[in-house]
Amino acid sequence: LAEKEVLIRELYHRTKNNMQVICAMLNIQLMYVNDDRLRTAFKSMENRILSMSLVHQKLYKSKDLSRINLGEYIRDLSELLLSSYSIMRNRVNLDTDGIEEVHVQIDTAIPCGLVLNELITNSLKYAFPDGRNGFIRIVLSQKADGLIILEIADNGIGTAPGFDVRRDGKMGLTTVMDISESQLSGKTAVINGQGFGFRLEFRDSLYEKRI
């Protein structure tokens, strides 16, 4: 059992390191790219890889090698994403007071991280134009029956009336819907009000425990 744990930790560690090497290679390549659209695509790809890398980093340090503290992961990932958009650091605040401790399996944590990455990145890119200030609020909770609720909302410029995520959303929002419904078998909803909000309900019982 001890040898098995050492092996699993080493796999998590190596996976995390390999993903960071890929990100470093993307950054080097980015130095030779002048097209803004291509630079944005590279940055989005890097953030997606980092979100997965962070899961393996958390599991490597965890006592439970099959489950991760999703609340802690979300806090760290959201801070990491905000830091990657340094020009937004002094204008956009993160409200993570509504995040509870919820433990999930790795197969649940990774798609959750990708959903969070797309939504926060989308807010940072589009919700606060022309130097305006604002906030992004993240709420995570789990009901007594095991249902997990994740909400991400901002107080930015919002969307046009009649906005439909699948019809009018860009690639990032389409990815959010696909991951939420296909990988997490979750129920999704767009939160109406000031800014843009997204609510995801799902369960951690979709995948069997590996360890």
Rg (CA), the chain: 17
Please, where are the H alpha helices in the chain? 2-30, 36-61, 70-84, 106-126, 165-168, 171-178
Query: pLDDT tens digits for 17-49?
Result: 898 899 899 888 888 888 888 888 888 888 899
Residue 9 has pLDDT above 70, yes or no: yes
Residue 57 CA, distance from chain mean position: 15
Starting from the edge strand earliest in sequence, which strands make up the sheet with 92-99, in order?
92-99, 134-142, 148-154, 197-202, 187-191
How far is Cα 204 from Cα 183, in angstroms, rounded to an integer? 11
pTM: 0.84
How far is Cα 14 from Cα 80, in angstroms, rounded to an integer? 20
Query: pLDDT tens digits for 86-120?
Result: 767 788 999 999 999 999 998 999 999 999 999 99
Residue 133 has pLDDT above 60, yes or no: yes
Query: pLDDT tens digits for 42-62?
Result: 888 888 998 999 999 988 888
